[in-house]
Amino acid sequence: MAAKRAERLVNLVIALLGTRQYVTAARIRATVPGYEPDDGTARADEAFKRMFERDKAELREMGVPLETGRTSVFDTEDGYRIARANYELPEITLTGEEAAAVGLALRLWESAQLAGAAQSALVKLKAAGVDVDTSRAIPLRPRLDSDEPAFEPCYAAARDRRVLTFDYRRPDEDAPTRRRVQPWGVVAWHGRWYLGGLDLDRQAPRVFRLSRVVGTPRATGPAGAFEPPEDVDLAAMVAGQSRGEEQLVVVRARPGTAVGLRRHAVPLGPAEDGDDRLELRTTEPMRLAGEIASYGADVVVEAPAAVRAAVVERLTRLAAMAPEGAA
């Protein structure tokens, strides 16, 4: 689903959850961000009707209890609302892994900054005379939770369909190069954020790791300048690129230690000395070497030799920095 459409559906759901009355299509059009504005033309009216019909059908397909009716006998047309009692889920108990997944989804929500536009829809409905129960609104504030400075401008450019210009430094390059991209979207993969899109200079799809973007990306040109391919799969694009960069690292860890490392490792069984052998996949072996070094003597690298040497070098440097007489 395109980012604009997803944002519009979220706005619509939150607006209809926040009112006890039935809201007409005309009022939804005027108050919920994302719909074709009313400029008095038949073309705009038809575009809104098609968009709204698709949105209603999609919400119902997703199980959202969208109701149609009239608030009073004096109403001249049907309106819409979402009964909160039918929408809310019963108490949910999550496992540790499920809770972590929900936490990641919440980070993406906050990073996407959907809450600001949705909250403004509630304000507009209240100003238009709709009985809005603000105590039932979802108390989210737009906040960028990603630790990548390039996340927000990249996401905004992909959402608005604007061309993005930025400097990008590849691992095998000494200096960054300027890139002009039609951004299709931002996706997380193995703990990293990536931008996928069409590289305009190379006229080919490309994936860019946000941590390698130098400076602040700049969006240029009008909004809606392009449309991503309908069948684009950003995760598959990143996975395809990452497979060529991935390295296998085999380590031995003392039983009961290196809990964080084990979360993304594949157990290989016990070693002869009783330690646990683990297999790790990484696209940044030197970054992984730093993580392994943080466990000290509890983790030893078996292979490859370059990662083992990097860990030894870090531990040696830390030992030299320790105060004289320290263990």
Tens digit of pLDDT for each residue in 36-79? Answer: 777 888 888 898 889 889 888 888 888 788 888 888 778 778 88
- 5 three-class SS: helix
E strands, 132-191, are 163-168, 177-189
**Amino acid of residue 321:** M
What is this structure's pTM? 0.40
- The CA dihedral of 15, 19, 23, 29, to the nearest 10 degrees, is -20
The whole-number pLDDT of residue 235 equals 82
Enumerate the H helices of 173-296 as residue ranges.
234-245, 259-262, 285-293
Positive or negative CA dihedral for 253, 254, 260, 264? positive
Length of the chain as a residue count: 327
Give mean pLDDT, residues 112-131: 53
Lowest mean pLDDT, pick from 56-70, 95-109, 205-219: 95-109
SS3 12: helix
